[in-house]
A = this chain, B = another copy of it.
Amino acid sequence: MRFMAAKRRQTAQQEHASDVATYVAAGGEESVQRVITAVYAVTKKLDQWYVRQFADLDLTQGEWAVLAALARAGDTCLTPSQLADLSNVAPSSMTHRLDKMAGRGLLQRRPDTTNRTRTLVSLTTEGWALFSAAVRESNVVESDTLRGLSSSERHELARLLEIVIDGLDDVDA
């Protein structure tokens, strides 16, 4: 029976504790925070993995994403926008990345004659050589990063992450 409890003024400390409790309860603590923390940790560690993998080839993860995307595209050229989408970066970041890679002679840009707002990006011979070197000599095998997961677990992980992405897309709209 706490008759006067509601009327008694809380101390600042009690209010703080109450707000923390509210936050922790709403956040779920035992699942939401775990997921968010883990997602950030995985990307950070993936970045570090890429740095190690490509240290001797003098490639960053972002540059490898471009190289692999262009290699997969084969003789089909890609535009900077497409590469930006595939790499999950802003278009302006892709411009800088392509500048660097073109400076090294790994790829070339040429205007699209059918639509002159577009630029077509393709690998040079040197770019293909670097891709091949990565695949053959350096044995770049991204599946190493997911060892510990069975095939079905990988699919499940991808499925759950894509649900999260869809949910975050909806919030945008």
CA distance A44 to B19 in the complex (A): 28
Render A129-173 as a binary contact track against B, CB cut-off 8 A, 1 for contact.
Answer: 001100110001111111111010111111011111111110110
Tier of interface size on chain A: 35 or more
- Chain B residues in 8 Å Cβ range of A38: 158, 161-162, 165
Stretch at the interface among A1-9, A27-35, A99-107, A112-120: A27-35
Of listed A24, A45, A151, A169, residue having the most chain B CB within 10 A? A45
Chain B proximity mask over A7-47: 1 for CB below 8 Å, otherwise 0: 00000110111011011101110011111111111111110
Q: Is the CB of A164 within 8 A of B149?
A: yes
A-B contact pairs, 17 of them (CB 8 A): A16-B71, A19-B132, A23-B71, A23-B131, A32-B145, A35-B161, A36-B142, A36-B145, A39-B43, A42-B164, A42-B168, A46-B168, A48-B172, A145-B171, A148-B167, A149-B163, A157-B160
